[in-house]
């Protein structure tokens, strides 16, 4: 079974540019999550999809971030325009059930550097 796939693995962009991160969850997993780790800080929840619907996006930092999950399969996270403080590692995870009590399968992450 393929795991959660994220790409690109690294992205370096200039402040003000746009970047789109992609996540392919494990096949059959309805639940998809985005998390972010800013250097030296905790991994923070961003949002949660159930199929194509946003269940909760309370962790999204501001309206420069837009997440989509067309058709309930892969998801994209767009940052437009990017700012320096957006630098960090963006993780995607997926699960069959919603309960946080079981843990999730995470991808390798996308390391975003905004210069």
Partner 1 sequence: GNSVTQMEGPVTLSEEAFLTINCTYTATGYPSLFWYVQYPGEGLQLLLKATKADDKGSNKGFEATYRKETTSFHLEKGSVQVSDSAVYFCALGLSNSGYALNFGKGTSLLVTP
Binding site for partner 1 (CB under 8 A): 3-4, 6, 31, 33, 35, 37, 40-45, 48, 55-56, 59, 91, 93, 98-109
Tokens of 28: 């059959």
Q: Which is nearer to partner 1, 14 or 99 (CB)?
A: 99
Q: How far is CA 39 from CA 6, 10, 99, in A?
A: 19, 15, 28
CB of 109 to partner 1, least distance (A): 6
According to DSSP, the β-strands at 31-37 and 43-50 are: antiparallel
CB of 16 to partner 1, least distance (A): 29
Tokens of 65: 């971030």
CB of 43 to partner 1, least distance (A): 4
Q: Which is nearer to partner 1, 28 or 103 (CB)?
A: 103
| Cα separation, 81 vs 76, whole angstroms | 15
């Amino acid at each position: 079974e393929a795991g959660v796939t994220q790409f690109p693995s690294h992205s370096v962009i200039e402040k003000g540019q746009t970047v789109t991160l992609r996540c392919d969850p494990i096949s059959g997993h309805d639940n998809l999550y985005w998390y972010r780790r800013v250097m030296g800080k905790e991994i923070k929840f961003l949002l949660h999809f159930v199929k194509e619907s946003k269940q909760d996006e309370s962790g999204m930092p501001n309206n420069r971030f837009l997440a989509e999950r067309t058709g309930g399969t892969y998801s994209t996270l767009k940052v437009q325009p990017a700012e320096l403080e957006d630098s960090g590692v963006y993780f995607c995870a997926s699960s069959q059930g919603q309960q946080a009590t079981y843990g999730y399968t995470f991808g390798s992450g996308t390391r975003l550097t905004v210069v």
